Structure 1
Amino acid sequence: MHMSLPNPQATIQNMFAQSTAVLTQPSVATFERFERRGGVREAFIYVLLAALVSAIISGLFALLPFHHVSAGAQFFTSLISIPVEFGIFTGLVYFVGQQLFRGTGTYPEVAYTFALFFVPISIASTIIGIIPILGWLISFILGLVNVYFGFLAVQSSMNIREQGSAIVTLVLSWIGAIIVNVIIGALVAVPFVTRAILNGN
């Protein structure tokens, strides 16, 4: 039997429409309307869009004279790190919510729900962030907005209605994601540091 592959363009168009609904009508109920419209594959296709926008902007900024990192390195770092960090964080939301608060959601529901607000806010933050000072302030505000939507998404995707439990799930997942990302960053850096030491640099 022939299985058709998903159309990324159609997927992104559908998810943008759902993102618009989520962002303009923020509530647990709104998230629940869409949490089963897609799964892990659709979520990461969507997240890759945010990663691509960030990678292009980071790569272009690396071309400026005062930057010391190559454009290619900046491009691929952003392209890889954003989906990886998204996967780590949403995985921890699922794990913490299930283990500590007996959340009954599934990981596909968590990933898809979080992608709906993460992608548009991430793209907006990346674009606005290139504006000196004002861009940083607006990006900070968008970060707080991200937290608010994350709070709603935890309640929806993991079916954790108690607000305190949802907040704890979000905070522990954030702390855990930082620790995991630091460990991964250290492991990635080890070969380069070792080579530099051996070369006497």
Structure 2
Amino acid sequence: MRSPVTSGPESSVQDMFAQSVAVLSRPGPATFERFERRGGLTGALIYVMIAAGVSAVIAALFAGLHSDVTFFGQLLSRLIGVPMGFLAFTGGVYLIGRNLFRGTGTYPEVAYSFALFYVPLSIVSTLIGIIPILGWLAMFVIGLAMIYFGFLAVQSSMNLRDQTQAIVTLVLAWIAQMVVVGMIGTVITGIFLAGRAVTGN
């Protein structure tokens, strides 16, 4: 049995993309179970960093039309905030599912399962999000898709087939993520405000 914090054999990015296609095209706990042990925490984080990079570059380029400070602020906040938010959320899923509902999955299984749908959906959301009006509608739809696939992934990765337990786990993990992301945003904002005060800009 693997340790809850030990990653398994890592899949390549190409393998993970193919697994993402399978998960998105054939949604269900059984599909997630096919792949949850084919990778580990390292692979999940590398995959998530791809999404963070795409989000950071696009956000920074659009913000950079206004000021250099905003450009670097967006770049830094996305590169740090996206992976930290992902770790906070999946960590919350694992800890809450295990301690509150006696889930039997491991953390690498949770992280890997969630990365398979989170990365492609977040990249699509970022790309479409720059389109006025359509972007907001698309992001709303993708947000609902994130909830749906998260519901399936928590049932599989933590072996929580009770729907109420799965929903409660997701909600509490989302709250934990919001707290962490909010703290990161506050720190980064404070750093840039302090920098502007020192430089007089």
Cα deviation for residue 179 of structure 1 reads 1.9
1:52 counterpart residue number? 53
Task: Evaluate the alpha carbon distance shift between residue 181 and residue 73 of structure 1 in structure 2; reply closer, same or farther with a 3 A threshold.
Answer: closer
Q: Does 1:136 align with 2:148?
A: no
Cα deviation for residue 184 of structure 1 reads 3.7
Q: Does 1:149 align with 2:149?
A: yes
Please say which structure displays the higher CA radius of gyration: 1
Q: Any gaps of 5 or more consecutive residues in structure 2? A: 1-9
Task: Evaluate the alpha carbon distance shift between residue 19 and residue 160 of structure 1 in structure 2; reply closer, same or farther with a 3 A threshold.
Answer: same
Could you give the per-residue CA deviations for residues 89-132 of structure 1, whole angstroms, max 9, x where no partner exists? Answer: 10000000001100000000000000000000000000000100
Could you give the per-residue CA deviations for residues 135-156 of structure 1, whole angstroms, max 9, x where no partner exists? Answer: 1111111011000000000000
Cα deviation for residue 56 of structure 1 reads 1.1
SS in 1 for 2:161: coil
**Identical pairs, percent:** 58
1:34 counterpart residue number? 35
Distance in structure 2 (CA, Å) of the matches to 1:41 and 1:11? 11
Q: Any gaps of 5 or more consecutive residues in structure 1? A: 1-7
Task: Evaluate the alpha carbon distance shift between residue 86 and residue 198 of structure 1 in structure 2; reply closer, same or farther with a 3 A threshold.
Answer: same
Could you give the per-residue CA deviations for residues 4-30 of structure 1, whole angstroms, max 9, x where no partner exists? Answer: xxxx9x711100000000000000000
How many aligned residue pairs are there? 192
1:170 counterpart residue number? 170
Cα deviation for residue 195 of structure 1 reads 7.6
Deviates more, 1:110-119 or 1:184-193: 184-193
Q: 1:1-201 maps to which residues of 2 (within 5 A)?
A: 11-65=12-66, 69-190=69-190
Distance in structure 2 (CA, Å) of the matches to 1:153 and 1:166? 9
TM-score by length of 1: 0.87
Distance in structure 2 (CA, Å) of the matches to 1:144 and 1:38? 26
Distance in structure 2 (CA, Å) of the matches to 1:190 and 1:61? 22
Deviates more, 1:167-176 or 1:189-198: 189-198
Deviates more, 1:133-142 or 1:21-30: 133-142
Task: Evaluate the alpha carbon distance shift between residue 57 and residue 184 of structure 1 in structure 2; reply closer, same or farther with a 3 A threshold.
Answer: closer
Distance in structure 1 (CA, Å) of the matches to 2:14 and 2:127? 20
Q: Which runs of 4+ in 1 moved over 4 A?
A: 187-201
SS in 1 for 2:12: helix
Letter in 2 for 1:13: Q
SS in 2 for 1:36: coil
Distance in structure 1 (CA, Å) of the matches to 2:30 and 2:23? 9
C-alpha RMSD of the superposition:
2.3
Could you give the per-residue CA deviations for residues 144-192 of structure 1, whole angstroms, max 9, x where no partner exists? Answer: 1000000000000000010110000001110121123223433455566
TM-score by length of 2: 0.87
1:4 counterpart residue number? none
Letter in 2 for 1:172: L
